[in-house]
Amino acid sequence: MTTPTAKPLSWAETLPRAELRALQGERLRAVVRHAYDHVPFYRQRMDEAGVRPDDIRDIADLAKLPFTVKKDFRDQYPFGMLGTPLRDIVRIHASSGTTGKPTVAASTQGDLDVWAECAARALERAGSTPESIVQVSYGYGLFTGGLGMHYAAERLGAAVVPASAGNTEKQVMLMKDFGVTTLCCTPSYALQIAEVGAAMGVDMHSLKLRAGHFGAEPWTEAMRKHIEEVLPLKAYDIYGLSEVAGPGVAGECTQQSGLHFCEDHFYPEIIDPETGAPLPDGEKGELVITCLSKYGQPLLRYRTRDITCILPDACPCGRTTRRIARLMGRTDDMLIIRGVNVFPSQIEDVLVRVKGVLPQYLITVDRQGNLDTMEIQIEIGNDAFTDKIKTLEALRADLQHRLKTVLNVGAKVKLCEPGSIERTLGKAVRVRDLRKI
Ligand code: DLL
């Protein structure tokens, strides 16, 4: 039995544009007022910009508000961005920051309900129903992928298999034995599952899978085609980020041509990353998101650093919410390794704390089979340079351990001689990405 709700899950996806805009304006007014009254950070920013909550009456006024950036989270770490007392916060997620401290994402129950609704809408948009069996093979934990899709499946009324990532043979067994219809994981892990299943002798095309919701890392149309060849499902792109909510901020419908934004809760803008000027629909730039319903940790005009465009035409599916194009890259140097966000500055932050090494390093990212690999070459200082293998190995192991703790993903550390990493005259080259996705 499903709990009766007043409105169908996706009622906001087909609202006439004028009604949607009125709803957005109403929610924006309330959330801006709340942020100003309850978060000293926003009050100060708005005062500096000379904007009062009463100046924000409609979505057209959004551009008057100052941007929020990732660094603001670091400066306000851990709870400086909260809009409610801590007692009203019921969950705290965290994603990578640019240095040692993570970016905190705290939610009230109301915020979680909105997120679950949006992520459930992503499942429904691609055809899942309460009859579906949804295997969540995103990692559970501080990362929002696992818990995000978990509550989405429950909100839809489907049966959820909380597999988390890893132990791939078991994933295949569960899929087969339970008749899983919907798979949620990173696109690279979907390929890994297909490969392991085939190696186990399972006819992957005999599985009941019909939809996959893949995201958290960049992928391409070519990869979609490949996944659809090796698994008997349609592969749908799903987008989200911890600061805003998690998976489900936007996701594709069965047309597979752009990700419908849950515009009634998350308002998207595209700006010129150089000037900050808003760009019209159809033009490529940086995605900026305002959370219209988030009160635990309000978020106004957040610069995501993700590059995309808002598709100017209406979707043939009949939904009126605007879509974004597949993500086209980032304006910063964030890497996504096995679904985990990694900033080169995090590595630098570790190196400056370790005696004997220089903050001279080169990250090489590659893909072996379907798994990302990361090797970090690090220069040793002249003082620490020795021909004692035992000493060097201890240093190497220590660095590898420290980096794994900070980055949340393993990297192979290779020590190299002083001066051996190429110096450039301009911007240092810190990353070689050899993956051909
Ligand atoms: O990756 C949330 C998520 C989980 C999305 C599961 C989809 C599925 P973060 O760890 O905070 O949150 O990383 C957010 O990942 O700014 C993008 O750069 C990247 N990203 C997320 N989805 C996609 C996608 C989750 N579909 C950052 N395509 C974002 C490309 C994506 N990049």
Among candidates 211, 216, 275, 212, which has minimal Cα distance to 241? 216
Q: Which of 214, 243, 306 to mutate to test the pocket of ligand 1 (most atoms within 8 A of CB)?
A: 306
Under-70 pLDDT residues of the chain:
1-5, 425-426
Q: Whose CA is nearest to atom 29 of ligand 1?
A: 241
Distance 47 CA to ligand 1 centre (A): 32
The interaxial angle of helices 187-199 and 168-178, nearest 10 deg, is 80
Q: What is the CB-side half-sphere exposure of residue 149 using CA atoms within 13 A?
A: 36
**Ligand 1 atom, smallest distance to 326 CA:** 28
Question: What are the boundaries of each domain within the chain?
Answer: 11-332, 340-433
Q: Whose CA is nearest to atom 9 of ligand 1?
A: 241
Distance 18 CA to ligand 1 centre (A): 30
Distance 422 CA to ligand 1 centre (A): 32
Among candidates 334, 288, 301, 300, which has minimal Cα distance to 98? 334
The interaxial angle of helices 344-351 and 389-407, nearest 10 deg, is 130
Distance 281 CA to ligand 1 centre (A): 22
Q: Whose CA is nearest to atom 1 of ligand 1?
A: 216
Residues with CB under 6 A from ligand 1: 95, 138, 143-145, 215-218, 237-242, 246-247, 304, 306, 327, 330, 336, 341
> Selecting from 3.30.365.10, 3.30.300.30, 3.40.720.10, 3.40.190.10, what CATH number does the domain 340-433 have?
3.30.300.30
Q: What is the pLDDT of residues 75-132, one digit of tens each?
A: 999 999 999 999 999 999 999 988 878 999 999 999 999 999 999 999 999 999 999 9
Q: Whose CA is nearest to atom 16 of ligand 1?
A: 241
Distance 158 CA to ligand 1 centre (A): 23
Q: Decide: 133 and 156 in contact? Cβ < 8 Å.
A: no
208 to 196, 201, 234, 255: CA distances (angstroms): 17, 16, 12, 21
Distance 216 CA to ligand 1 centre (A): 3
Amino acid at 95: S
CA distance 135 to 2: 20
CA distance 139 to 164: 5
Q: Which CATH architecture has domain 11-332?
A: 3-Layer(aba) Sandwich (3.40)
Q: Whose CA is nearest to atom 30 of ligand 1?
A: 218
Beta bridge partners of 161: 135
Give the pTM.
0.93
Distance 240 CA to ligand 1 centre (A): 5
Q: What is the pLDDT of residues 29-71, one digit of tens each?
A: 999 999 999 999 999 999 999 999 999 999 999 999 999 999 9
Could you report how far apart the first and last alpha carbons of the chain are, in Å? 43
